[in-house]
Amino acid sequence: MVDFKAVISDPKNGKNFQTTVSGHHANSLIGKRIRDDVDGIFVGLPGYKLVITGGSDKDGVPMRPDVYGTRRKRILLTKSTGFNPKDKGVRKRRTIRGNTISPDILQINMKITTYGPKPIKDLMKVEEKK
């Protein structure tokens, strides 16, 4: 079985929520790509619609929407996802992962596009710091 950590962003209030996806819900996410729409039932948010915005694998290698497939690839990057240079005009070859979710992916980033009938705080167990 494969397990994912889903990080869900709420654009209304700018908060993020983290949950674990396992079992048949995790298996149904395999093969989805970045920018695909996903039903919220897979991450415990019935009635919500989410869009996949990215993720990273077990070694921390980020996913990119412009690299197709599930494999790792070394590409030449300027300032963008996976490389933030200090100086202007610097390019570097970096290892990144393709845009398709595979069992090697550990974290999936998602953003809410359509809200459900219940508020997200009631559906997710939010731990408040004291």
Quick one: pLDDT at residue 37?
A: 95
**CA 37 – CA 95 distance, rounded (Å):** 26
Q: How far is CA 34 from CA 31, 67, 120, in A?
A: 10, 10, 23
- Within a domain: residue 126? no
**CA 85 – CA 53 distance, rounded (Å):** 22
pLDDT, tens digit, for every residue of 79-100?
887 889 999 999 999 999 999 9
Q: Name which of 6, 2, 4 is nearest 120 in CA terms.
A: 6
8 A C-beta contact, residue 35 and residue 102: no
- Domain of residue 99 covers 4-115
- The pTM for the full model equals 0.87
- Within a domain: residue 121? no
- Within a domain: residue 122? no
pLDDT, tens digit, for every residue of 23-48?
999 999 999 999 999 999 989 899 99
pLDDT, tens digit, for every residue of 43-84?
989 999 999 999 999 999 999 999 999 999 999 999 887 889
**CA 57 – CA 61 distance, rounded (Å):** 6
- Within a domain: residue 33? yes
Mean pLDDT taken over the chain: 90
Domains contained in the chain, number: 1
